[in-house]
Amino acid sequence: MAPLRPGDPAPEFELARDGGGSISLSALRGKPVVLFFYPKDDTKTCTVEAISFSGLSEAFASAGVALIGISPDSVKSHDRFAKKHDLAVALAADEEKTVVNAYGVWAEKSLYGRKYMGVERTTFLIDAAGIINHVWEKVRVAGHAEEVLAAAKILRTG
């Protein structure tokens, strides 16, 4: 499957989320959405990323932008992660890996020569009509949330 690019329609999804209930892309139509895909709850880099986005959650909200973190972890894991780090972002559980596959972020990775399948840290900015506006691949966490917020504000005022 070819990777998703700006201009492509964002694949629809509905996933269980932290705190109960579910979250879907169609329910957010009419406002920009940031989806940040991350490998695993409560690991060092993923925690820094989630805290960074969480720290800017009010700025995203005031810009009218929805913010969702997605990983293959369970809702129970997301609940613990959110509570432990006082996260203010929605965390969606993709245990079946349907969404990470639809967005092309489930990929072969390598660590110390060992190959395995996992989530490639990637962020998508989706416009109000459900079209991908920007893709950040193989994300480096330092400064990333700020960069995404700046792009989202430009899209929103566009």
Please identify every residue annotated as catalytic: 46
Of the candidates 16, 85, 20, 81, which has an alpha carbon nearest to the alpha carbon of residue 55? Answer: 85
Pure H helices in 9-134: 44-55, 57-62, 75-85, 98-102
Cβ contact 70:79 at 8 Å: no
In this structure, the number of other CB atoms found within 10 A of the CB of residue 36 comes to 26
Q: 130: which 2 tokens? A: 């459900």
Q: How many Cα atoms occupy the beta-carbon half-sphere of 77 within 13 Å?
A: 15
Q: Where are the beta strands (DSSP E) in the chain?
A: 14-17, 22-24, 33-37, 66-71, 90-93, 106-111, 114-119, 122-126, 132-136
